[in-house]
Amino acid sequence: MQMRGGSSKGAYFLAADLPADPAERDDLLLRVMGSPDARQVDGIGGGHPLTSKVAVVSPSADADVDYLFLQVVPDRAVVTDAQTCGNLLAGVGPFAIERGLVPVSGGTTDVRIRIVNPVPSLVVATVSTPGGRVAYDGDTAVAGTPFPAAPVHLEFPGGDAPVFPTGGLVDRFAGVDVTCVHAGMPVVLVRAADLGVEGTEPPDVLEADDRLRAAVEAIRLEAGPAMGLGDVRDTTVPKITIVSESRRGGTVTTRTFIPHRVHTAIGVLGAVSVAAGVLTPGTVANPVTAVDPVRVEHPTGYFDVSVDLDGDGADTRLLRSAVVRTARKLSDGLVWPRPGKATG
């Protein structure tokens, strides 16, 4: 099934319909999506990281369903499970109900989803199910998507892992002060002024700035190991979020490298991480305290995130976070992957 999940788009599979061997599965997914090719013209991928995503869903021993997220890189023969995706997550509940893995339980149905990678965690998705079926039509607007749809409420639990994984609120990488934060997605916060930009530029302008891209990548390669992620040269984490003061009445302005293209909005868990950084005094993210929700401005609007934190400074822990997304079924049927091996 193809679905829009939040401001992203991807292919949703039952795990049983894919090869069990990860190498075979990844090879198949490259051919399904049309990678490696920047346009993905020979597959169903959309030629951008945000439209080249895969959700693999299966019955779960610990929840209703397991959700494995795979990022299929458009222009390289790479499939990575190093991150999850909170946007595609919005489609997992509806998909699980449509495939009969979870029964409808009334006007709304709670689906308990175990996020499998990179670290297992449980999420509750509340899906609109009036009349015993998943409803996609509705009035909920999500910035980064052009049309309103039915809401999917996502409630994320906290965890024991520290929100600031380097043990400090400010680190200096590649000569720039940053805050490394992980409240579901590893993100490096950098002040726009420290990178010589306004922080309000459109994504294509930032992507075309070779000096900026090099500076961002240099920071990322140093931050990755310090955040416990190892060598991040070939992974899609950490993300780099450029922060500056709010311009449109929200809490903070953001532009996010994910990590080589610039997000047209912001990732769900990326936004939760930004919110945690913004709310903690001493970070580089123009902290304001006691704002709920945190309104994260991005290139196509804003994203409201509700976050509860506990503890002080580098000992801060996440108690819970909640967001509202929408999802929509786009197509359901058979896909014909190109034959052969993805890598030739």
Binding site for ligand NQM (CB under 6 A): 7-8, 49-50, 85-87, 185, 236, 239, 258, 263, 267-270
**Residues contacting 289, CB < 8 A, separation 6+:** 279, 281
Distance CA 19, CA 337 (A): 13
User: Pick from 101, 98, 81, 93: which is nearest to 16 by CA?
Assistant: 101
Give the span between the Cα atoms of 318 and 214, in whole angstroms: 32
CB burial readout 74-97, b (16+ within 10 A) else e:
beebbbbbbbbbbbbbbbbbbbbb
CB 224 within 8 A of CB 230: yes
Residue with smaller CB distance to ligand NQM, 185 or 307: 185
- Least distance CB 152 / ligand NQM (angstroms): 13
275 φ, ψ (degrees, to nearest 5): -60, -40
Least Å from the CB of residue 53 to ligand NQM: 6
State which residue, 58 or 87, has the beta carbon closest to ligand NQM: 87
Q: Which is nearer to ligand NQM, 50 or 276 (CB)?
A: 50
Strand partners, 155: 124, 322
Minimum Å distance from CB 9 to ligand NQM?
9
What tokens does 291 get? 């704002």
Task: Find the shortest distance in angstroms from Cβ 239 to ligand NQM.
Answer: 5
Residue nearest to ligand NQM (CB): 267
Task: Between 65 and 143, name the residue whose CB sits nearer to ligand NQM.
Answer: 143
Q: How far is the CB of 89 from ligand NQM (least distance, A)?
A: 7
Residue number with CB closer to ligand NQM (56 or 129): 56
